A and B are shown apart, each in its own frame.
Chain A
Amino acid sequence: MLKIRNFSKSFNNHKIIGVEKLDIPEGIHWIKGVNSSGKSTFFRSLAGIIPFDGEVELAGTDIRKDPVAYRFLINMSEAEPLYPDYLKAFDLITFIAEAKKAEAGQLDQLAEALGVSLYWKKPMGTYSSGMLKKVSLLTAFLGKPHLILLDEPLITIDEQSAGVVYELIKDYHENKAVNFLLSSHQDFRLERLSLGHTYLVQNQTIAVI
């Protein structure tokens, strides 16, 4: 599903993470690693948010050769999302839904499930970190992605919302053939999700364990 070759990401000549060869199959996988191991940088690179050296191909679509098609296939929710505080979540989410060509009704369904519709017409500056996190999670499910990257999906959200996120992951994987990379420094509740591989990010590289 995801083919990575000669991947390397540095900031100010300091190498953050490098992967010579990695093939991630379809499924729900856990990217494990301690704080500042480079998980978020890896995810942001895969999502096309930050540049990197090397080659990345998702379901046969190259990130550089076909940047628009690639971005239809991959969505991401950031660990600690930062949005303009004067905008309403509704403004941002509807824009992302349009760009990702989300089907009619998908947005309302997700907003309802995650409880975002209760507050999405208020400026984001008034949201708690949990509310912001749910906005970020919602945007990751929009459209018809082939792979969703969820960076620390469970931090700052309550038990009930965490349950909704588990259900969404399960539903999207089983019924829509969507694959997931979930990053966390904590253990996921394995009984709720059928996790495929676990990848460990450490010593500036990634390896399957």
Chain B
Amino acid sequence: MKSLLNIFNKSIVAEYYRQNMVFIFVLMLFCFGFLRAIEHITIIKLILRLPALMLLTFIVWAVYALKVSLFNLRLLESRQYEFLYQARLFPLAKRLAVFCLVMFNLLQLTFLYSLAMIKIGIDEKRYGPAGLIVLINLVLIISGALVMEYRIRMPNPEKLLPRTFQSVFSKFRTPSYLFFVRYLSARQPVLLLITKLFSMAVLLGFCYLYPTDDYDERFLAIAGLLVGASHIVFNQKYFQFEHLHLGLLRNLPLGFGKRYSGYLITYAVLLIPELLVLIKNLPGEVSYVFMIQLLIFIMSIILLMHHLHYVNGISKDAFMQRLFFGGIGLFLLIMFKIPLLVLSGVLLLAGGMVFRKHFYLSEYHEE
């Protein structure tokens, strides 16, 4: 059993955390950068008291568990991980135990938070909700293990995409600017869903709050900053996708303008949900001209973050630190009423320069 656990830990668990380092970092930044410990304790106490909030928390954990399970399936279905099917030769009980441990390792992000919730639940003498949290953790671990067991028993990757989906796609030619969008929808659906839900919720929240006080357009610009920053994981995945699956693109005789506009169109497609949220919920006092400026601002942040990935030799930690301080700088410039178009122009220009200087020099290194 030790050897089985060892090989699954090294091939799946380590790979998951390696590939999702930026996602987890950004999540931590959003969860613990803005809220202090005391505020987390208050939120947890509230969740333990209100069943609706408790349900919402479980839904978020279930979505995360789904992301993990989809990752497991994707790995198990790729050719280089076919050796993992040897697990079928081990007894069922051992196999399930290993899969449960693998899921437990993969769900540490939600599990550790749930531990804090259980402790506070016990302190507050809310044994029912605390017990429910333990139960939900068990359900998520066991169901994830069963998904792995199902794939090991039925290795049949062709049937993963429903036939109807495949036949729809086979009728149309996918233009190059949709390659990455299709990658996200086919291979990272939960990431796509989480990111889009988050950025739409941010815009919606800021649009609803806008009329409640004496805010000006800077308030929405801050929402734009958060929305742009929330796309950092897309940038990282795009960079990875391009190097691992479409290295040949660098051999193509495409000028910088064409390449740059390709990225712009791709991200514009990805920003359609945000556009729809803004059109529908833009506060009455805010003009559509400002809305367009806001979208350009979001796009300029995303494009700059994308192109910064082409700079070699920056560790992920250093990269995130620079982005964090860059974000603070942008926040201050917004507060000092620097027009969004000016900020966008500077960001787009900087992105273009970084892209031009570093694109052909950039290399992807597995960390």
With A87-B174, A88-B170 as known contacts, state yes or no: A99 contacts B247, CB within 8 Å: no
Chain A nearest CB from B247 CB (Å) reads 5
Asked if A72 is at the interface (CB within 8 A of a chain B CB), the reply is: yes
Q: Are B361 and A51 in contact (CB-based, < 8 A)?
A: yes
With A49-B248, A76-B248, A78-B248 as known contacts, state yes or no: A68 contacts B174, CB within 8 Å: no
Residue among B179, B362, B363 making CB contact with A87, cutoff 8 Å: B179
For A70, the chain B residues whose CB sits under 8 A away are 253
In the complex formed, the residue of A with least CB distance to B158 is A126
A203 to B166, CA, bound (A): 48
Chain B nearest CB from A206 CB (Å) reads 20
Q: Are A68 and B251 in contact (CB-based, < 8 A)?
A: no
In the complex formed, the residue of A with least CB distance to B172 is A91
Which of B181-189, B283-291, B345-353 lies at the binding interface? B181-189
A75 to B248, CA, bound (A): 9
Q: Within A42-71, which residues are at the interface with B (CB < 8 Å)?
A: 44, 47-51, 64, 67-71
Q: Are B170 and A121 in contact (CB-based, < 8 A)?
A: yes
A125 to B245, CA, bound (A): 12
Q: Are A86 and B253 in contact (CB-based, < 8 A)?
A: no
Asked if A84 is at the interface (CB within 8 A of a chain B CB), the reply is: yes
A95 to B166, CA, bound (A): 20
Interface string of A109-131 (1 = CB under 8 A from B): 00000000000011101100000
For B128, the chain A residues whose CB sits under 8 A away are none
For A44, the chain B residues whose CB sits under 8 A away are 247
Interface string of A163-185 (1 = CB under 8 A from B): 00000000000000000000000
Q: Are B251 and A47 in contact (CB-based, < 8 A)?
A: yes
For A160, the chain B residues whose CB sits under 8 A away are none
Asked if B244 is at the interface (CB within 8 A of a chain A CB), the reply is: yes
A87 to B183, CA, bound (A): 9
Q: Are A82 and B252 in contact (CB-based, < 8 A)?
A: no
Residue among B170, B179, B182, B251 making CB contact with A74, cutoff 8 Å: B251
With A44-B247, A74-B251, A84-B245 as known contacts, state yes or no: A125 contacts B157, CB within 8 Å: yes
Q: Are A96 and B252 in contact (CB-based, < 8 A)?
A: yes
With A71-B252, A99-B253 as known contacts, state yes or no: A82 contacts B244, CB within 8 Å: yes
Chain B nearest CB from A94 CB (Å) reads 6
A139 to B161, CA, bound (A): 27
Q: Are B182 and A86 in contact (CB-based, < 8 A)?
A: yes
With A88-B174, A91-B174 as known contacts, state yes or no: A99 contacts B252, CB within 8 Å: yes
Asked if A12 is at the interface (CB within 8 A of a chain B CB), the reply is: yes
Q: How many residues of A contact B (CB 8 A)?
A: 39
For A83, the chain B residues whose CB sits under 8 A away are 245-246
Asked if B93 is at the interface (CB within 8 A of a chain A CB), the reply is: no
Residue among B173, B186, B255, B363 making CB contact with A51, cutoff 8 Å: B363
A88 to B182, CA, bound (A): 12
For B173, the chain A residues whose CB sits under 8 A away are 90-91, 94
Q: Are A123 and B166 in contact (CB-based, < 8 A)?
A: yes
A204 to B137, CA, bound (A): 53
Q: Are A48 and B250 in contact (CB-based, < 8 A)?
A: yes
Q: Are A95 and B176 in contact (CB-based, < 8 A)?
A: yes
Most buried by A among B179, B187, B252: B252
Q: Are B252 and A100 in contact (CB-based, < 8 A)?
A: yes
Q: Are B246 and A84 in contact (CB-based, < 8 A)?
A: yes
A6 to B130, CA, bound (A): 67
Q: Are A72 and B253 in contact (CB-based, < 8 A)?
A: yes
Q: Are A86 and B183 in contact (CB-based, < 8 A)?
A: yes
Q: Are A67 and B245 in contact (CB-based, < 8 A)?
A: no
With A88-B174, A100-B253, A121-B170 as known contacts, state yes or no: A51 contacts B360, CB within 8 Å: yes
A99 to B248, CA, bound (A): 12
Q: Are B186 and A86 in contact (CB-based, < 8 A)?
A: yes
Residue among A69, A81, A91 making CB contact with B253, cutoff 8 Å: A69
Top 7 A-B pairs, shortest CB-CB distance: A71-B253, A86-B186, A99-B252, A91-B174, A72-B253, A95-B176, A51-B361
Known: A86-B186, A87-B174, A99-B254. 5 other contacts (CB 8 A): A12-B365, A68-B253, A68-B254, A86-B169, A121-B170
Q: List 26 A-B contacts (CB under 8 A).
A: A44-B247, A47-B251, A50-B247, A50-B250, A50-B363, A51-B361, A70-B253, A71-B252, A71-B254, A72-B253, A76-B251, A82-B245, A82-B247, A83-B245, A84-B245, A84-B246, A86-B169, A86-B187, A87-B174, A87-B179, A88-B169, A91-B174, A100-B253, A123-B169, A125-B157, A126-B158
